[in-house]
Amino acid sequence: MPRVRQHQHFVELSDFERGRIIGMREAGFSLREIARRVNRNVSTVLRCWSKWSLEGVQHRRRGSGRPRRTTDREERRLRLLATRDRFSTTRSIANDWMRGSPSRESGVVSDCDTMAELAALLRSEIPEGRNNLTDNHTNLERVAEYCEANYFQSENKRVALEETKNYDTIAS
Shared domain check, 117 and 170: yes
Is residue 152, in this structure, part of any structural domain at all?
yes
In angstroms, the CA 134 to CA 124 distance is: 16
155 three-class SS: coil
User: In the prediction, which pLDDT does 103 show?
Assistant: 43
Shared domain check, 161 and 136: yes
Count of structural domains within the chain? 3
Shared domain check, 115 and 160: yes
Is residue 133, in this structure, part of any structural domain at all?
yes
User: In the prediction, which pLDDT does 130 show?
Assistant: 78
Is residue 8, in this structure, part of any structural domain at all?
no
Shared domain check, 172 and 116: yes
Is residue 172, in this structure, part of any structural domain at all?
yes
Shared domain check, 119 and 94: no
C-beta contacts of 124-131 below 8 A and 24+ residues apart: none
Is residue 60, in this structure, part of any structural domain at all?
no
Is residue 2, in this structure, part of any structural domain at all?
no
User: In the prediction, which pLDDT does 168 show?
Assistant: 59
CA distances in angstroms from 52 to 21, 45, 79, listed in the order given: 10, 11, 33
Residues found in the chain: 172
Is residue 48, in this structure, part of any structural domain at all?
yes
Shared domain check, 115 and 104: no
Shared domain check, 139 and 119: yes
- pLDDT per residue over 20-38, tens digit each? 898 898 889 999 999 999 9
Shared domain check, 117 and 143: yes
User: In the prediction, which pLDDT does 54 show?
Assistant: 77
Shared domain check, 118 and 105: no
- For residues 81 and 70, the answer to whether their CB atoms sit within 8 Å is no
Is residue 86, in this structure, part of any structural domain at all?
yes
Shared domain check, 162 and 148: yes
Tell me the torsion sign for CA atoms 36, 49, 68, 109: positive
User: In the prediction, which pLDDT does 107 show?
Assistant: 46
Domain span at 42: 15-55
> What parts of the chain have a pLDDT lower than 70?
1-10, 56-64, 68, 101-115, 168-172
Shared domain check, 165 and 132: yes
In angstroms, the CA 16 to CA 58 distance is: 10
